[in-house]
Amino acid sequence: MIFQIDKSQKQIQKAVQDFVKGEFKKETIGQLLEKNVFPEDIWKKASKLGFIGIHYPEKYSGQGFGTIENVLVVEELCRGDSSVGTCLSKSGQGAEFILRYGNETQKKTWLPKLAEGEVLSSAAITEPGLGNDFFLSETTAVKDGDDWVIDGGKTFVVNGGSLCGFYVVLCKTTSDVPGNDQKFSTILVEADREGIDVFDVGHRLGGRLMFISKVNFNRVRVPIVNLIGQEGLGLVQVAAYLSENRIVAAAQCLGIAQGAFDRSFAYVKKREQFGRKIVDFQVTRQKLATMATQIASARLLLYQAAWHLDQNGASEKLTAMAKLQASRTAVAVCDEAIQLLGGYGYIQEYEVERFYRDAKVADLLDGTEITQRNIIANELMRGKI
């Protein structure tokens, strides 16, 4: 268990903070927001500095660090800016399928491209109307000679679009086994394959710089060797992936919360009301104390979940708790930050309204509050106190 990051980790944290100060220019981000476009230049610069895929092995262009270091990077990026930070943090969405279960060819082909900022990646596992009921998925992959032929549609596909290099697609590969446990597999589908159609999901409350898409697969052919891991273990892989991904999602939420707190704290220290600084009012200090405590508790739970993953593998209970606590904290802190700024809190120039919108999207993506509570309750019923 760690309660304080070490010297090497502090250096990583400082490096990201310096990057944010140099590259997250308000004018640049304003232009991105005006056009609702992915921050491609900033993403490529972050990749060159090794912030993307920092937990990949060095032979795949990573830095060979662990989950804790990745969490520190994500937290600081989202603290610097909720919208740009989230885009960078999710640039390797779905890559853990390759990292944990892929064959050597898949790893050598794709992980370096992700770490070096050549492509984005995407996990296409959710279908319209199903939410997290993955065992009801209807997307199929049928063997035809040396190929899989994939048919179906996925939604809320992060990074689906022009910069995507590949999709990890959850498919029903057999119907001959009893139950659902072994009917599904994950398959790597290169984004330039014929038969793939991509559509934006539409205008969104937050997360407006990200690609979030509906992706249809119409008789898309990929080689049999594009299977990720073993056939029939798709749902097992998805469960493990989601558990690990919740840690990254929690780090995003934590960074957003800290960023909103930073901005509101700076504001109340300067702003005067009735001849006094707002920070000198007791009610303001009470609010700041509550916000800081919420952030600190979420951070400790997140670091514990990350430490556990590095030491023993992911704990579903801990990762769900970390995501639940961090996402609830992000929404609450951002809401309070708007209150502290008053009318200015609703003005885009002061940023906290956007942090709130991005916090709400982060609260919903990667498993809602209800989903996290269900996971925690199920783990408790299994005796995992």
Predicted local distance difference test score (pLDDT) of residue 254: 98
pLDDT the model gives residue 130: 86
Would you put residue 178 in left (φ > 0), alpha (ψ -120 to 50) or beta?
beta
The whole-number pLDDT of residue 243 equals: 92
In sequence order, the β-bridge partners of residue 200 are 213
Model pLDDT, residue 174:
85
Residue 132 confidence (pLDDT) above 90 = no
Q: Are 86 and 73 in contact (CB under 8 A)?
A: no
**384 confidence band (pLDDT: 50, 70, 90):** low
pLDDT band, residue 182 (cuts 50/70/90): confident
How high is the mean pLDDT of the chain? Answer: 93
Which stretch of 140-144, 251-255, 273-277 has the lowest confidence by average pLDDT? 273-277
pLDDT of residue 2: 56
pTM of the model: 0.94
Q: Class for domain 120-234, per CATH?
A: mainly beta
348-363 average pLDDT score: 92
Position with higher pLDDT, 233 vs 384: 233
Token pair in block for residue 138: 């209807």
Q: Tell me the β-bridge partners of 172.
A: 140, 184
Average pLDDT of the residues in 335-364: 92
- 7-115 belongs to CATH 1.10.540.10: yes
- Percent residues over pLDDT 90 in the chain: 82
Distance between terminal CA atoms of the chain?
17
pLDDT tens per residue across span 233-270: 999 999 999 999 999 999 999 999 999 999 999 999 99
Please compute the mean of the pLDDT values over residues 198-206 and round it to a whole number: 91
pLDDT at residue 8 tops 60: yes
The 10s digit of each residue's pLDDT in 44-72 is 999 999 999 999 999 999 999 999 999 99
Contacts 24+ apart (CB under 8 A), 370-376: 371/131, 371/132, 371/320, 372/246, 372/320, 372/321, 372/323, 372/324, 372/327, 373/320, 373/324, 375/316, 375/317, 375/320, 376/317, 376/320, 376/321, 376/324
Report domain extents, the chain. Answer: 7-115, 120-234, 236-381
22-42: pLDDT as tens digits: 999 999 999 999 999 999 999
Contact indicator for 151, 207 with CB cutoff of 8 Å: no
Q: Which CATH class is domain 236-381?
A: mainly alpha
Amino acid 93: pLDDT: 95
Predicted local confidence at residue 251, as pLDDT: 97
- For 173-252, strand residue ranges (E) read 184-190, 196-200, 212-223, 227-228
- In this prediction, residues 358-364 reach a mean pLDDT of 91
Is residue 188 pLDDT above 60, yes or no? Answer: yes
- Cα–Cα distance for residue pair 174/184, rounded to 1 Å: 7
